[in-house]
A and B are shown apart, each in its own frame.
Chain A
Amino acid sequence: MFYREAGQFKTSYQADQALFPILQDRIGMVVILAIAFVAIPLLANDFFLTSIMIPFLIFALAAIGLNILTGFCGQLSLGTGAFMGVGAYAAYKLTSIFPDANIILMVLLSGVFSAAIGAVFGLPSLRIKGLYLAVTTLAAQFFLEWCFIRIPWLYNYNASGAIEVPRREVFGLVASGAEATPIVRYFIVLGITVLITWLMANVLRGRIGRSWMMIRDMDIAAELMGIRPLRTKLMAFAVSSYICGVAGAMMVFFWLNAAEPSSYSIRLSFQILFMVILGGLGSLGGAFLGAAFIWILPVALKFVPGLLGMDIAAETVEHATFMTVGALIIFFLIVEPHGFARLWQIAKQKLRVWPFPY
């Protein structure tokens, strides 16, 4: 009823292959983009931008990166945090070496370094699969974290051992450093996230996206159809790490202002992995939903007691939040092991046939 595609005929393959072949989806996407680009900047305060929207978008982008590798190509990785760190340190070094270059360009370029490193650590994937591969990516996580601590060149021999983001301007606006306004940062993060999401949606519906999914679903059949396993897997590793690298660079430049090696620890890897699993493996939209759940929900929950007029100590709220989020994760995984993306699919189907049950 609300979501019926009846009467929307396609007369060309071009129209049939569009990203959003159904009118309702197109309207929905325009509304979401309008909210993101117009409504939020107009209405949101600095706290909402800095503590909710900017990290949400960065995590969503990282989740898309991991989703390319795990959800679409079927290669489990626990090195996400380290690959994000590579992006952050690369962007920091790049902007130290070329202070006058556009910082957005440097952030986008930093992903190239994590792509290269990701591809190197993807080499074992030719031989090993599943949990065993996860262990080798775990080695990447520990090795790279060690590098961030032990190679002082990476943080410009800073006494604190951390990278502190210098002030950089883009088109006359302060984009990074302590003086940068949340609104400028928000637009940069939003722009990069939307751009990369759109580019990835394109790749995923074409030949290369299909070759990743072929490897994921049945690697032997894929090989017998002419897919080169190593090349395809390494490409997935490289693309995934590129996106994670850009997300990691944005994390320090447009959100945290400073980062130390522990910012990119195994904790971050798991956080992104949970976002991907909760959101739904193999779904771009699911990455956003998963990131929203893991990042926004705890922040929002902290305000619930205050809104209800309950006077509870801050630590108690903190613990209650942990417990609630944990319980909700278990609840949602039992309800739908395939994540929010599948829940949304089911909801769409229900809306389609409403008011009838099927």
Chain B
Amino acid sequence: MNAFAIETDPAPSDQTVIVERDLLLSVDNVSLAFGGVKAITDISFNIEKGEIRAIIGPNGAGKTSMLNVINGFYHPQEGTITWQGKVRRKMKPYEAASQGIARTFQNVALFTGMTTLDNIMSGRSLKMHRNFFWQLLWRGPAEREEIEHRRKVEDIIDFLEIQAIRKTPVGKLPYGLQKRVELGRALAMEPELLLLDEPMAGMNLEEKEDMSRFILDVNREFGTTIALIEHDMGVVMDLSDRVVVLDYGKKIADGPPEEVQASQDVIDAYLGVSH
């Protein structure tokens, strides 16, 4: 071995590093129909651990249906879903929740009669176990458990900067804050996979920037895998690692943002094409 060889020996960092990530979720040949209406036709894609995966497409493309399939709200007629290496056919939403899939909704689905604090605490439900009789007494184990989870929830409240509205009933909050509380509620579940259904719909620029920051922070600091549906292309292209594009229930593109942006099919789907 001579000195030259050492110098010219290509270090692995010289090349573009392709991060090998484990598959978290894989959707294979899934089809979903409501009677004659085909919402999803033969779609396959996967979500890798730690990435931000965007699902985009024009209205009615089947994006929300796809999320509903993933968290067990709809049961596809065909195809399989592999979650953390295990194939599952049919699953109830609460089972999906207990396996670490959390989500937010396109139309805010908060518990309107409860305070911000209670809403986020409700995300801890699966992690709290004291039974009815301890709850009756409150003093002792039930109270200790409540405080333990309250600490975690307060961390989330700090993270999302919503300390001031802790005790406000969420029905009274403006829309942007409701979206933020809903994100907090999903985060309280400490999910493996966080599904965000249009987290920025109806927000102004500033609120969108805040929300983008939170999404990136969640992904980087907690390492949470995120799948998001969004119509703001600027946001999607900046945030996501990979994008899957649906149109009329079919997958028309899948790949890194730049690649998807350049795809003729995607441009046609969004702009329309003369036949």
Contacts and interface: CB of A to CB of B under 8 A. Distances in A.
B199 to A, nearest CB: 15
A38 B25 CA distance: 65
B125 A213 contact: no
A229 to B, nearest CB: 8
Interface stretch (A29-37, A217-225, A243-251): A217-225
Interface in B71-130: 71, 73, 92-94, 96-98, 102-103, 105, 109-114, 118, 121-126, 128, 130
A224 B96 contact: yes
Interface in A88-105: none
A158 interface: no
Nearest to A221: B109
A13 B111 CA distance: 22
B94 to A, nearest CB: 5
A310 interface: no
A287 interface: no
Interface string B131-148: 010011110001101110
A217 B93 contact: no
A217 B112 CA distance: 6
A199 B122 contact: no
Nearest to B130: A207
B275 interface: no
B151 interface: yes
Contact residue range for chain A?
A: 20 to 34
A216 interface: yes
Nearest to B148: A13
B113 A202 contact: no
A216 B189 contact: no
Interface string A167-206: 0000000000000000000000000000000010011011
A206 B125 contact: no
B180 interface: no
A123 interface: no
Contacts of A202: 135-138, 142
Interface string B147-162: 1001100100000000
A222 B110 CA distance: 9
Given A221-B109, A224-B96, A225-B97, 20 more contacts: A13-B151, A14-B147, A17-B143, A17-B147, A17-B150, A203-B136, A206-B135, A208-B132, A209-B135, A210-B114, A210-B122, A210-B125, A213-B111, A214-B114, A216-B113, A222-B111, A224-B94, A224-B103, A225-B125, A227-B94
Across the A-B interface, give the 8 residue pairs with the lowest CB-CB distance, nearest first. Answer: A226-B97, A217-B111, A202-B138, A226-B126, A221-B109, A207-B128, A206-B135, A223-B93
Interface of B: 71, 73, 92-94, 96-98, 102-103, 105, 109-114, 118, 121-126, 128, 130, 132, 135-138, 142-143, 145-147, 150-151, 154, 185, 189
Interface of A: 13-14, 17, 199, 202-203, 205-211, 213-214, 216-218, 220-228, 235, 282
